[in-house]
Chains A and B, each alone.
Chain A
Amino acid sequence: MPVVTLPLAATVLLCLMCLAILIAGVTKLVVVRRGAAHAEKERLRIVAFDENILLASDLVPDVSVIAVAPDASEATFRFVRQLVKLYFGRFEVMVVLDGPSSEDLEAWKREFHLQPAVRVAAGTIPAKPVRGMYCSTEPIPLFVVDKQAGSEADGLNAALNLVTSRMVAMVDWDTEFSSDALMRLIEPVIDDPQTAVSVGLALPAPGKSLASRIYRSECLRNWLGRCAGLAASDAILSAPGAFILFRRDALVAAGGFRRTRGGCALEMMLHLHKLALDRGQPCRVRLIADAIARPASPNSSRELRKRLSRDQMEVAGALRLHRKMMFAAGKVGDWAIPGLFCSRLLLPLLETATLILAAVSLGMGWINPLDIALLMYGMVAFGILVSMTMVLLEPAMPEAELPARELGGFFLSAVWEHLGYRQLRNLRFICDFARGWRIRRPE
């Protein structure tokens, strides 16, 4: 019987781990390639319509854009001003102030000339009590709700109780969007009134800094994988920076938003997929492969870290709440949830463990240093090549065509990304996943 020695076991284990990383990389490429093909197909489906007809028609449902204000800063006010300027027929913007200080409330009142208003709550989703409601005396469709401090999900639920429109839209505070975003998002709903969710997302604008290039790569992977890649399997999920339109009755049937540490859209989309499957019907979600909305480019590496952390915690929270759907909920259960688990937890764990094992093997002299060097070199080069291949799939993204020089820079950023950044990001991903997984009990 052959004797299994520690060096042999370490060598075999290291080889198996590297093989798993290779397989994961190839799978990722297959998914994003499918995503790129699907995006191309979706882009060809976009039909240029006469917007004036859409503006005037009764067939176009009314929309409420709901958002929980993070503060009373100039940037937030600017964002709200942009929201109320959306080009659409019947819509309103409902901003929820989640336990604002009296100074913040005063700032809001001053900025938008708010006057007390009354509205009867149409919904009964549990949420912290509303302290006051205000509408603007300016000719803008703005409604502001002042409520007791809760969470983002709680604020969204309070808004959901107060809106009466057929469709509800959501957008992140760090998203840049076009003024006709609602017009583009509503088209699939008119085409098929059973459409539950319509998602619009594009890549962030190209920036000069390494942080913005890396964030663009992360968004490209998210878009091609989580959005377009899963859309090809009818299991599309949202990603940061998306402008999302939900059918209000679907949100109400889901019991409103649930509390996670990051945003709430991903969890809601998984929930809607689950409810639709329980009813034995597919959840109709459409991806608009058009430049409707995109996350703003991060200015610094700290901002980049903050955004990635938020997304990672949102993913972890959503996965925790819907972990039972894994392999038990159609294509979402077979593809989306395992895919997110693998890419957001297992792969970072595996890559980190491989590095540690290689370092230990090298230190203990279990494996020849040249072999370890070749193995690590091969792995890093493989990662770089996967990222570079994805950069070349970038034209599939809406309005993504970079100038030639920018494309070269974006291509090369894949090299820097894998020399140090990715290893650190893996560690942060693991920590943020653990933080996102530990959801506090709802109040």
Chain B
Amino acid sequence: MRLILIGLLEAEAVWALALIVLLLGAMTMRKRNRRRRERGEAAAPAIREALAVYMGGNSDVTRLRAFRKSHRLELARTIVRFQSRVGGAERERLVELALNFGFVEGWCLEAESRSLEKRREALGNLAALSHSPKVTRLAGEIQLRALSDPDEQVRVQACALVYSDDPNLVSKGFELALTASPLIRLQIAPQLRRHAAMLCESAIPKALRVGHATELVKVLRLLNSWECHLPLADLGDFASHIDEGVRIQAIKLLAQAPPTVENRRALLDGLVDPDPRVAMAAAVSAGRLKLPAVLPRLSGCLRRGNEALAHTAAAALAAMPPLGWQSLKHYANSGDPIASAAARQALQSIQTGPAHLEEVA
């Protein structure tokens, strides 16, 4: 027994030694990191000051060059931090400085590093400077390749390529938005909005050609989130799709599309859709488009016996004076309890709500 115990104690002694070595290593590393951080923090005010002088128009970069040698990392980080705080010519001067000092080239190399942390930082820095065409020309291809990176953060940062005006790069960003997780889609979607018209030329029609309902819903939802005019002349196929999710999203999108014959027909069909959720979406779109042709079917929605649909249709009619209001007055006195209640409520809101004010104006 004693032999076993001695063996156990020996093993524990080796274990303890190994732990002490690891502890000393960890302590040394932390000390070094701390010292480096403190040095950077101490130099930060002077770096900020030198950058402010440079942005103010002073082209003498001697001091900044000295910082590039002694505090390269801190200088690069401060340039990146300043991107969101300054604008116009000052920002452009900072980008020029980053290019001249070789920071952008360095980040382009690090963006393809094996180290995840380096990739994340490099692409983050490139994303911060992507508003400049000079940077996107240099980094565009790298950002494009980074779109297929296994790391989600890197992919999100690579989406900064949508700031570029290159249709190919923007289309790639749009494709990523469709395949990414909902949270990432939420982040990328607003950035794509300014390219909506360009994307409607080929990328959106291509994405809409997919047959699968789930994918279609994703595309249509993304387009709806932009809430801007989209030159999509015919959404009829989607508005009459077999899947109600697709129909709802497509009919919502009609409010943002031009009122072509096909789109108007799709809206009219949506108002008589057997699924009340689809009809509700159509009523909302009809209220936004204010097309006189939809009035009879919109009035029909009041009589379908569905309370939520009746209220939505009444709200849409309230937004379409004077014919919509006349229709509401007619239904307010009708025998149908659901229709009359919805119409009365809509009429009441006209007297106090924004629709009335708009009409007065």
Segment of A169-177, A370-378, A423-431 engaged in the interface with chain B: A370-378
Segment of B26-34, B73-81, B255-263, B283-291 engaged in the interface with chain A: B26-34
Q: B residues within 8 A CB of A59?
A: 182, 186
With A47-B153, A187-B183 known as contacts, the answer to whether A407 contacts B30 (CB < 8 A) is yes
With A48-B153, A374-B2, A404-B34 known as contacts, the answer to whether A191 contacts B8 (CB < 8 A) is no
Measured between C-beta atoms, what is the minimum distance from A206 to chain B in Å? 13
Chain B interface size range: 20 to 34
B16 and A385 within 8 A (CB): yes
Which of A375, A378, A395, A404 is most buried by chain B, counting CB atoms within 10 A of its CB?
A404
A11 and B1 within 8 A (CB): yes
A11 to B1, CA, bound (A): 9
Interface size on A, residues (CB 8 A): 37
Instruction: Indicate whether A50 reaches chain B with its CB closer than 8 angstroms.
Output: yes
B186 and A385 within 8 A (CB): no
Partner of B151, one of A44, A50, A375: A44
Q: B residues within 8 A CB of A392?
A: 19, 22-23, 26
B5 and A45 within 8 A (CB): no
Partner of B23, one of A374, A401, A407: A407
With A44-B116, A381-B9, A408-B23 known as contacts, the answer to whether A53 contacts B16 (CB < 8 A) is no
A371 and B182 within 8 A (CB): no
Instruction: Indicate whether B152 reaches chain A with its CB closer than 8 angstroms.
Output: yes
Instruction: Indicate whether B156 reaches chain A with its CB closer than 8 angstroms.
Output: yes
A401 and B183 within 8 A (CB): no
With A371-B5, A403-B34 known as contacts, the answer to whether A408 contacts B27 (CB < 8 A) is yes
A47 to B127, CA, bound (A): 14
Chain A: CB-nearest residue to B156: A47
B12 and A382 within 8 A (CB): yes
Q: B residues within 8 A CB of A433?
A: none
Q: A residues within 8 A CB of B116?
A: 44
A49 to B180, CA, bound (A): 14
Q: A residues within 8 A CB of B16?
A: 381, 385, 388
Instruction: Indicate whether A190 reaches chain B with its CB closer than 8 angstroms.
Output: yes
As a 0/1 sequence over residues 376 to 393 of chain A, the CB contacts with chain B under 8 angstroms (1 = contact) are 011001100100110010
Q: A residues within 8 A CB of B113?
A: none
B23 and A190 within 8 A (CB): no
Instruction: Indicate whether B306 reaches chain A with its CB closer than 8 angstroms.
Output: no
B12 and A53 within 8 A (CB): no
Chain B: CB-nearest residue to A193: B182
A58 to B5, CA, bound (A): 65
With A191-B182, A374-B2, A392-B19 known as contacts, the answer to whether A53 contacts B187 (CB < 8 A) is yes
A192 to B156, CA, bound (A): 18
With A48-B153, A404-B34 known as contacts, the answer to whether A378 contacts B9 (CB < 8 A) is yes
A-B contacts, 16 of them at CB < 8 A, read A47-B152, A47-B156, A47-B183, A49-B156, A54-B186, A57-B186, A190-B182, A191-B181, A371-B1, A375-B5, A378-B5, A382-B8, A404-B34, A407-B26, A407-B30, A411-B23
7 nearest A-B pairs in the assembled complex, by CB-CB distance: A404-B27, A374-B5, A47-B153, A404-B30, A191-B183, A404-B31, A190-B183
